[in-house]
Structure 1
Amino acid sequence: MDVPKLLEAASLLVPETVATENDITVNDVWDYLAHDEWEIALDLLAELGDVHPLPVTFWQTLATSAEQMRLDRSAAWCHWRCYETRNGVIRADLTLGPAHEGRRQTPFSGAGVLRPMWDIGERTPTGEPDLCIARLWVEFAPVMEPGGQATVRLAPLSPSKWQQLQPGQVIAMHEDRTVAGTAVVLDIRRPSDSPAA
């Protein structure tokens, strides 16, 4: 299926009454599609998907469209949203340690590539921290620098281990035995809060 048809199919999944803070609706998307402004239509559809929970098929369709347009970061974001639709959303305010204090000396990609370990309060039978892996997406920034602070989204490798997490809880990020950063949980949305199919 070509890009315009994919975007049209995704548009049909958005209720007409849904609008962004800037009053963008699916009708605006149709206008951009009519003028072959596919990238703008894709971005607006993703914005509408952030306003109103939409099914996994919506995000899969947007990911395929972005891949066909060779928009790698947009495709990665849409795949990320597929994961969140299935498993829930975890957002946190992360502060990394400065370069001179930790292992990380260079910035890392904010597009869900890094898979650090997290101390979320679980313990092994011997009482040691039971670190859990979660991919990390930095909101509104292409990279995160040592010593930086940003709102991030987490995609746990084993979502069931993260069920006890609560807003306000402080969790620690590890790339080795030392703490690489700390994060305060801002928001948790369970998968039941959004449609799955």
Structure 2
Amino acid sequence: MDVPELLESASLLVPEETATVNDITVRDIWDYLAHDEWEIALGLLEEIGDARSLPLTFWAKLAEAAEQLRLERSAAWCHWRCSEIRNGVIRADLTLRPAADARRTTPISGAGVLRPMWDIGHLSPTGERAVSIAALWVENMPVLAPGGRASVRLVPFTPSHWTHVQPGQQITMHEDRTVAGTAVILEIHHPATAMPAR
């Protein structure tokens, strides 16, 4: 499929009454598509998708369109949203340790590149700390510098490891044995097929 077909197909997956915070609807998006304003249509579809739960197919079509348009960050975001649907997502407030107190002295990318380890309270069979891996996306910032604080989105590699995590819980981020940052869980969205532990 080419870009217009992908965007048209994705827009058909959006309920007609859905609107962005600026009251842009699918009808408005169709006007942009009719005038070959594909980047604008893609951005508005992403905005609608961020405001409402839409299927994996929606995000996959947007990702493909963004790749064809060579919009790297947009493509990365759409692929990220596909991962959230498959694996669930944990939103958290993350504070990185300052460069003087940590091994990291450079900013981390905000676009889901980093896959740090997280101490979420598990122990190994021998009683030592066991960590779980989750990819990290920094919300509304291209990078997060050492000592910085931001809302982040975590996509667990093994969602079943995270079913006990609760809002308000503090977890620690590791890139090696040392603590790289601490995060407080804000909200949890399990994958559609997973049920939280009881």
Give TM class, smaller chain.
over 0.9
Find the aligned partners of 2:178 and 2:53 in 1 and give their Cα distance: 37
Instruction: Please give the TM-score of this superposition, normalised by the length of structure 1.
Output: 0.95
Deviates more, 1:31-40 or 1:5-14: 31-40
Matches within 5 A, 1:41-56: 41-56=41-56
* Secondary structure of 1:30's aligned partner: helix
State the Cα deviation string for residues 80-135 of structure 1 (Å, max 9, x = none): 10111122221000000000100100012111101110000111122211111111
Matches within 5 A, 1:1-197: 1-192=1-192
Partner of 2:196: none
Aligned length: 193
* Secondary structure of 2:192's aligned partner: helix
Unaligned runs of 5+ in 2: 194-198
Output the aligned Cα RMSD.
1.1
Residue 23 of structure 1 deviates from its aligned partner by: 1.1
State the Cα deviation string for residues 163-197 of structure 1 (Å, max 9, x = none): 1111111000001111100000011112239xxxx
Residue 154 of structure 1 deviates from its aligned partner by: 0.5
Residue 20 of structure 1 deviates from its aligned partner by: 1.9
Letter in 1 for 2:114: L
Find the aligned partners of 2:102 and 2:152 in 1 and give their Cα distance: 20
Find the aligned partners of 1:86 and 1:25 in 2 and give their Cα distance: 26
State the Cα deviation string for residues 24-45 of structure 1 (Å, max 9, x = none): 2111111111121111111110
Q: Residue 87 of structure 2 contacts residue 158 of structure 2 at CA under 8 Å; is this kept in 1?
A: no
Instruction: Please give the TM-score of this superposition, normalised by the length of structure 2.
Output: 0.95
* Secondary structure of 1:173's aligned partner: strand
Find the aligned partners of 2:19 and 2:133 in 1 and give their Cα distance: 35
Deviates more, 1:169-178 or 1:17-26: 17-26
Letter in 2 for 1:155: V
